[in-house]
């Protein structure tokens, strides 16, 4: 939907069309940066473990990206880091409430 509206606006006159042509590389780079296949999934936070949820219609590239992301999450001890940050935030809140 958005891409069709953008295309329509970029083709509205010759100046815009020229600008679009000059910006094609930037548009392609942006398209790749926001491509869901690149990320593969999203972490589910608040659980006691590492869970990465992928979309049901994910293709090979998306599944591979999700596996790579899950591996990075495990290697970074993300769950332990989140637990430590939450514990520290609770300490600060407790200290602020009783000071």
Q: How far is Cα 61 from Cα 98, in angstroms, rounded to an integer? A: 51
Total count of domains within the chain:
1
Q: How many CB atoms lie within 10 A of CB 41?
A: 19
- 57 three-class SS: coil
Statement: the pTM of the whole predicted model exceeds 0.75 = no
**pLDDT tens, position by position, 17-61:** 999 999 999 999 998 888 888 878 888 887 788 888 988 889 999
Query: Range of 77's domain?
Result: 2-97
């Amino acid at each position: 939907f958005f891409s069709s509206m953008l295309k329509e606006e970029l083709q509205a006159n010759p100046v815009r069309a020229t600008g679009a042509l000059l910006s094609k590389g930037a548009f392609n780079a942006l398209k790749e940066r926001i491509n869901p296949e690149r990320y593969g999934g999203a972490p589910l936070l608040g659980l006691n473990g590492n869970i990465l949820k992928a979309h049901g219609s994910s293709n090979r590239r998306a599944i591979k990206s999700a596996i790579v992301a899950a591996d990075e999450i495990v290697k970074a001890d993300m769950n332990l880091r989140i637990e430590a940050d939450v514990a520290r935030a609770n300490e600060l809140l407790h200290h602020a409430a009783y000071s």
